[in-house]
């Protein structure tokens, strides 16, 4: 799970060119319970994100976190989490079923909210570091379940239906996360006015832990698991990278890792810019975050159809370039309505980029090696994540707070918009240099970019609406 949305912070999610997978064993209806679990688990996870994860940085700021603390809060849990993924793959043979690994991960995430909340209050002098430690436990538990979860779910789906399924799952998650995020911002604003902000965070985090545990009940209803794969898996990660991956997949990993570096230069510091520099209220900050979720919700079905029809590489190409311009626009205005609108379009673009980054791994790796592919991709992304966040915290102490060059005078509320601009320029450079180096692993429709542009989410219905209003067109 990449979760590399500019709003964050997440929120994530192979290998042989032209390799065609056999269809899942048995008819699809035989595994409807597992497919429903994937959707239900997504909803519970999204509520936990909206009521808990999204407010971790705000809680850390309340605990007097500095930029370096925010960098580590973003980077360290991801690094430790990928270690948990690698460990999970190596320990897979210890478990009789993949659901057992998933169960331990969900349980760990549910219980992690106790130390996240309690330890900083018990030891306030170490509060920021204890928030980081609790977050590491939370994300590590989630990452421990990720390879088995992805292996289980993707075994139930044919290659050409994954885009639609994961888009539907993400759309349900967007609804649940939006509702939880809105309730969270109202709750925090209410207790902030009562001068009891810690009480508000306590209620949010307890709710997050309880809701996450509900996935265990849904998981317990799964009995019929897919049959094992006929082909043997590569025995270890070195063998997998050397013999089980294509050149295109390895080049994709390079792109994915570097784009994470560029994104995370700015990612952890939006909360600081909005709450500390612009002094937004919690409800304004919550609305800003919710705008991205709305953008995801309205476009995820379109991105899913685009992915299934034209491939993830085409989706990554459009989203990879569009995502470059989003952080640059924070230099244009600090008006709240402008920022909310900008983050809505951020949600639109990130919906496609996140879906493409995860689904490319599923398509390019053999089913038997899929857990390893997910773990390797997550490791590369986490390394890029850590480099980006630490680079961003260094830039905060280096980049000036204003620029005067001839008639050009820029005096934002802090130097953070300049760092956002640097992040955008780096994204653009990476997209220009690396997107051309790898290809689509599936057989899909191929069209020139000018044609594909009109198939993008929001563009396609707007174009159809405009054509219907041309003279002589039928309505």
What is the rounded distance in angstroms from the CA atom of residue 85 to the CA atom of residue 145?
A: 7
pLDDT at 327: 95
For strand 408-410 and strand 403-405, is the pairing parallel, antiparallel, or unpaired? Answer: antiparallel
What is the rounded distance in angstroms from the CA atom of residue 430 to the CA atom of residue 128?
A: 33
pLDDT tens track of the chain, all 475 residues? Answer: 344 556 544 433 333 233 333 333 333 344 566 677 778 888 888 899 888 888 998 999 999 998 889 888 888 887 887 788 778 777 777 777 777 888 888 999 999 999 999 999 999 999 999 999 999 999 989 888 887 777 777 777 776 777 778 778 878 888 888 889 888 989 999 998 999 999 999 999 999 999 999 888 877 766 545 444 545 555 566 777 777 678 899 999 999 999 999 999 998 899 899 999 999 988 898 899 889 988 988 888 888 889 889 999 999 999 999 999 999 999 999 999 999 999 999 999 998 999 899 889 888 888 777 778 878 888 899 899 889 998 998 999 899 988 887 777 888 889 999 999 999 999 999 999 999 999 998 888 888 888 888 888 877 665 555 555 556 555 4
Q: Is 405 helix (H, G, I), strand (E, B) or coil?
A: strand
Residue labelled with tokens 């759309």: 171
**What residues contact 341, with CB distance under 8 A and at least 6 apart?**
291
- As beta bridge partners, residue 405 has 408
What is the rounded distance in angstroms from the CA atom of residue 27 to the CA atom of residue 43?
A: 26
Cβ atoms of residues 208 and 199 within 8 Å = no
What is the rounded distance in angstroms from the CA atom of residue 287 to the CA atom of residue 181?
A: 8
For 189, how many CA atoms within 13 A lie in the half-sphere containing its CB? 15
What is the rounded distance in angstroms from the CA atom of residue 256 to the CA atom of residue 244?
A: 19
pLDDT at 116: 95
Q: Tell me the C-alpha to C-alpha distance, in Å, between residue 431 and each of 88, 334, 394, 474.
A: 32, 27, 24, 40
CATH 1.20.1250.20 fits 29-225+243-459, yes or no: yes
Domain boundaries, the chain: 29-225+243-459
What is the rounded distance in angstroms from the CA atom of residue 460 to the CA atom of residue 171?
A: 19
What is the rounded distance in angstroms from the CA atom of residue 263 to the CA atom of residue 74?
A: 12
Residue labelled with tokens 């688990």: 41
What is the rounded distance in angstroms from the CA atom of residue 350 to the CA atom of residue 318?
A: 11
């Amino acid at each position: 799970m990449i979760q590399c949305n500019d709003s964050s912070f997440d929120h994530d999610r192979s290998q042989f060119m032209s390799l065609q997978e056999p269809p899942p064993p048995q008819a699809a209806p035989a595994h409807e319970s597992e497919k429903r679990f994937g959707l239900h688990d997504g909803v519970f996870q999204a509520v936990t994100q909206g009521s808990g994860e999204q407010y971790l940085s705000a809680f850390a700021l309340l605990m007097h976190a500095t930029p370096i603390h925010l960098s580590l809060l973003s980077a360290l849990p991801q690094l430790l989490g990928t270690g948990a993924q690698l460990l999970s793959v190596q320990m897979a043979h210890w478990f009789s079923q993949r659901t057992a690994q998933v169960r331990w991960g969900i349980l760990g995430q549910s219980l992690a909210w106790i130390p996240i909340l309690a330890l900083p209050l018990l030891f306030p002098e170490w509060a920021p570091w204890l928030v980081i430690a609790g977050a590491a436990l939370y994300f590590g538990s989630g990452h421990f379940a990720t390879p088995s979860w992805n292996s289980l779910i993707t075994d139930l789906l044919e290659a050409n239906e994954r885009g639609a399924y994961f888009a539907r799952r993400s759309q349900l998650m967007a609804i649940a996360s939006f509702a939880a995020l809105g309730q969270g911002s109202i709750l925090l604003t209410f207790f902030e006015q009562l001068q009891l902000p810690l009480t508000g965070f306590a209620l949010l985090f307890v709710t997050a832990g309880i809701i996450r545990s509900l996935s265990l009940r849904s998981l317990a209803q799964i009995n019929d698991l897919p049959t094992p794969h006929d082909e043997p898996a590569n025995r270890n990660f070195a063998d997998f990278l050397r013999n089980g991956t294509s050149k295109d997949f390895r080049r994709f990993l390079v792109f994915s890792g570097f784009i994470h570096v560029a994104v995370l230069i700015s990612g952890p510091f939006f909360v600081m810019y909005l709450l500390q520099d612009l002094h937004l209220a919690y409800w304004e900050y919550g609305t800003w975050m919710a705008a991205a979720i709305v953008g995801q919700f309205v476009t995820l079905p379109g991105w899913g159809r685009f992915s299934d029809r034209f491939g993830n590489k085409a989706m990554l190409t459009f989203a990879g370039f569009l995502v470059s311009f989003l952080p640059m626009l924070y230099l244009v205005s600090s008006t709240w309505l402008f920022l909310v609108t900008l983050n809505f379009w951020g949600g639109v673009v990130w919906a496609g980029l996140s879906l493409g980054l995860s689904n490319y791994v599923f398509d390019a790796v053999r089913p038997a090696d899929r857990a390893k592919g997910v773990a390797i991709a997550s490791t590369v992304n986490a390394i890029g994540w850590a480099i980006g966040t630490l680079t961003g915290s260094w830039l905060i102490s280096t980049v000036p707070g204003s620029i005067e060059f001839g008639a050009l005078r820029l005096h934002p509320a802090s130097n953070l918009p300049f760092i956002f601009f640097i992040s955008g320029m780096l994204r653009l450079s990476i997209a220009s240099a690396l997107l051309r180096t790898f290809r689509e692993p599936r057989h899909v429709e191929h069209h020139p970019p000018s044609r594909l542009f009109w198939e993008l989410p929001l563009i396609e219905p707007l174009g159809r609406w405009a054509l219907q209003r041309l003279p002589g067109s039928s309505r």
